[in-house]
Structure 1
Amino acid sequence: MNTNAIPSLPWSGDEEGWSESYQRMVRGCDAIPTADPTKLYDVFERMSRAEVDFDELPRPTGIGREISVPLQKLDKCKVCLNTSNLRLCNSCASAIYCSRECQKFDWRVHKPFCSQTQQINLKTFYPFIAYMFDSLRRLTPTQERNPSSHPNPFVDSMFQKLGRRMGPSDPDSVLHPALTHRLLRAPAPGSRRATSSENKIHHTVVLGEKHNLQISDLPNPHKLSSWWKGHSTMAGMQMFLHVIRENHILEVTVAVSLLLLSEVYSAHMAKSFDSSGNPTWEPRECFRLEYGHSPVSDFGICRGRIQGKANGVQTWTYYNPKSSSRTTVLDPDNHFWLYFRTIKGEELVLDCCTFPYGMEGCVDASTCLRNLSSIFRDYGSARTPAYFYAPRHPEECPNSHSLIETERFSVMHDTTLYGALSWELFGGRDKAQHAIIHEFMTKVQGKPSTVDQEDRVRDYRSFGAMLLGQVLTGKHWKNWEKPTTHSRDDCFDPRNPKEGVFMKGSKADPDCNAKLNGLMGFSARYLV
């Protein structure tokens, strides 16, 4: 194809960005879900200079996909409708039969789908889900992983189509208040034991003048030492991790739940259009979550409150004397977590967001990162906040706290969401998609979602789709073993810092390693 044809696809000139031709090309590239954004930038930049031929780009896998979810209960045989002696298809857990004869009779119809299905056990997969929470939380607007500080309009448009904003116009409007100011007075973060009279603990942090931590994977050691006056970089990193994990709990929970539905449960891909203008569908490799050998029949989001048991529930208010403003970021009576229910009726809870309340249970997710691209391997994965348990089994429940559910919202069986997730890559500018996501977020949080919240979900899903896509296409989860859990994140304990633990599973990055040496090895130098 003549490269001169590329500039002839005109920009529409409106807020929707570039033409539908570009959108179809971008969405159809099968490399995008696993691509390094730096490489994407290079492709887009070369396209803008008419230096790359479309033939050099990955071939489309289709224009869309179809969400297919498993059975909710063992009720009747798929063939004869018998209600006794029922058993699931061992391969895909998506069909029920009462006998070998019924299963054999249905095999010709069932085989194309069944042969494409693979099971993912939550017992070994949940650390990766927890890692997605922690990794996405770190995608602050000052750290958008953009390869250039001077993007041209074409590249900016392409990244917008991928849900990647090149940078906020006002970082202070979306950042945690503690990330843009010095800390004049603050208690040390960490768990606190509950007392017999009170299991709620409130802290006030006094903010000072404006301060830029220069966050890029890790804070600059010199900036960090002057951020929290009178404290070492060890203590500063503990506070930094607390602040990052206090950010955007609703948005990251919504994003991860939508990612599980769109990436795990998309079972058919659009192949081509027939004479009527409708796409024909073909089975593609798909996946099913299970717990043990019991398929997950439903998952979604719970809203409720945190109740302290052994630990007190902490809340933090950030007071700015200059503006006389007080910001309390989190409310323990308005908390969000994930639930899973198996076809046998077993309930499971995955809570990855109680760390800033003083519940420091962690899982080692570093083994999940071994074969991933370097851009996805963040530091600190060996201590990823997570509580995963079956509430009906008291011996599995944490003794630090309990979660009191007030309402739940199924993601797997919300058919309205299927339309919003039908593209292979989330089109954040599509008005219909945007309206569906807005309605769902409004329902979950109990009040209208804001544009900033929806943009954040879009950004999280864009990066998360590439991260999760790489795990699924590479079948990496098959080599993961039973995870190791820890009672707290102790990497930056001033009495015994664990540099090796913090670096476990991470990428090799000279710039970040130099910062880490400053944080871990020379903390005394940076005391103020």
Structure 2
Amino acid sequence: MTEEEVVVGGDLHLYIWSNAFLTDAGVLDGPYGGQIRALAFSPNGLLLAVGDGSGKIVIVTARIYSLAWTEESTHIASASLDTHIYIWSIEKINKNIPIKNAVTGGAWGVRWIPGSGDANGKRKLIGVGSDAATNAKRVGKEMIYSCVQDVERWHTALQNAKIQTGKITNHLAVCFVTAKTCLLLNYGHPEKTDRIDLSSFYPVLACIAESPRLQVRVIHIALKHNVINAPNPTTPAELLPYGTHARVVRLGEAVDSANRRPDQSHWWPKGITPKVRGKLFRRILREGNVLPIVVGICVSLMLRMYSSLNEEGGTRTRLRYRSAGISDFGVVSGWARVTADDRLVYILPDGSILHGQDPEEHYWIYFTTQKGETVYLDCNLFTFNMALGIMPQPYLAPQPAQIFPPIVPVCFWDRTMRKGVKGMMATHPTEAKSEGTQEEQRDVAAAESILVLGMGELGMAVLRSIARHPSFATISVSVMVRPSTLATTSPAKIAELRELEFYGMNLIPGDIVNWSETELASYFHSYHSIISCTGLVGGRGVQVKLARAALSANVKRYFPWQFGVDYDIIGYGSAQDLFDEQLDVRALLRSQEKTEWVIISTGMFTSFLFEREFGVVDVERGVIKALGGWENRVTVTSPEDIGKMTAEVVFYQPRLRNQVVHIAGDTVSYKEVADILDRISGKEVTRHVWTVAELNDALRVDATDTMKKYRVVFAQGKGVWWDMDKTLNHQRGIKMQSVAEFVENLLNSRK
């Protein structure tokens, strides 16, 4: 491309750029078989490659989403939705070299790796898939394969974590250098060692993670100021203004580098011992940059250590775990279970609050073997005071470029670790008194076991909140999911399944819709508590069937799917006939005394109020329609906050039983919602009122329309709202997302 030429897809317009103005020079005609999806000029500026919606440069079998030229402008690579990457030669444009199934989930990007050519003219390229995978391949017989996080998702995660994207480059560079120059296994150089077992190799990866921390260029602000309070191990966590607890580190005057050593009292005068001061210093030193570090490890593996050539010139996996090769590895995003005492928050000299590493946005690495076993590596837990460690010296070069500490933190979650944790956590039937009945022994075995039904949006929110609750360490959690979910090929669902496995939760197949009450009861019998997160699936009768099965199984505690309005106040015979079954469930639970029950009333999901299909708030068009009147009120709560409060209710002491618990993110009138939109958007919204009479008339026209049923119920205004001071979260000082905060986040996400 010359400096004056610009090509735009669609009808393939050619524009001339001159003196900051674009001039339309016409349309470039060609045998395009669909909407143009990708364009790329060759580096010498003489050629233009076009990928269209029918899958053609010349011949490709799916939509083309990315094109990349070699530096010499002799070949071009295309990435298409059919998961394949094709190599095209300008000399033989009607032929191509296919790389079949290059990335799963569709190939969305492809780039040649600069400077990767060898003496035989072979070059490396990298492809990006929609399943959070990137594959690097060499044109020819050599191949290096890996599963690393999708580049776009890296960028999104970095933005969400408020980490400057530039930092990732520094850390990747450090990881490349470390892997290449100073980290060697004691049985040979990584490039020459044919088989590498993760069981002995993971300490090397821990050293790679430690390397960028030792080369830190930006000193943490807490290490540049005196610590003026006493965040010693015996000091309890403090309540923060937004309702959570953490260990607070208060900072005072600045200290120079000479007094920044962890064994000196100048930095932290109130530290009770040099050992305690050193521990806090090292925790702060290792804080942050979690995602760049795990990505750096994955890319280092991809480029240097993952595969090797066999005698026939093909590739074979060199990275293994026990007897099976590693077929897949990548980055997992999830939670780290952290107590309030181990979470750090800093009060700066000016009184502002700086949050430490966020355990709710944590990343680690998974490795899956060819036999289907998955192990995990986490090198970023030390700042939470909860990591194991290895001695690095056996894994370093004789004269490493860096001086490593005597212990490098790492947690390698393999079958040995899982077995040890299970032994420490489980309550075994043999611990029951020998004279107890079989039923009593079953109760002892299941005393701390929870079964969660479903892992949809709310189910995952509940499971994540349980996983990060301090009491999670004393219980076991199982999740009943559909068999089709366990066999899913959806990248997002697979990531969620791996996340639950990482938490140590058991995944069991089940079908709440098609199984009988007896079949469900036989499964429920083994658990102390059951939490239903199924939603109103399967039509009428499913919620009553679940409740009957829980009672038949003599479950000790049951949390039915009642996350919504207050059905007692609404009563039987409402416009939404599904609500009658919810009242039947309440009557069934109240009619017995053997199984304790807790109902959590949450109001409407906050996001549902803004769903265009619901028709009440249309943010894009700036329209709001009040249901029943502007002073009518509605209670809303986000799924994340429902999950948080469900975990709070489950572990609440003294134990909650046989009662309805109300929670709320916010309770607002429709007028207040409109005012919030006016204020945050800076534009005046259009306001209308849907009267109850109008909504009833619309429902009579189509009595099966679910949305129309909901509108009538909320317009009538009974049982759909409650005062905030009545809620458990208000009474406990737990902050939840307000409508104003939801709107602000929604509008920011659309910028």
Q: Which bin holds the TM-score, normalised by the shorter protein?
A: 0.3 to 0.5
Q: TM-score of the superposition, structure 1-length normalised?
A: 0.40
**Greater strand percent: which structure?**
2
**Greater helix percent: which structure?**
1
Q: 1 or 2 for the larger relative contact order (CA 8 Å, sep ≥6)?
A: 1
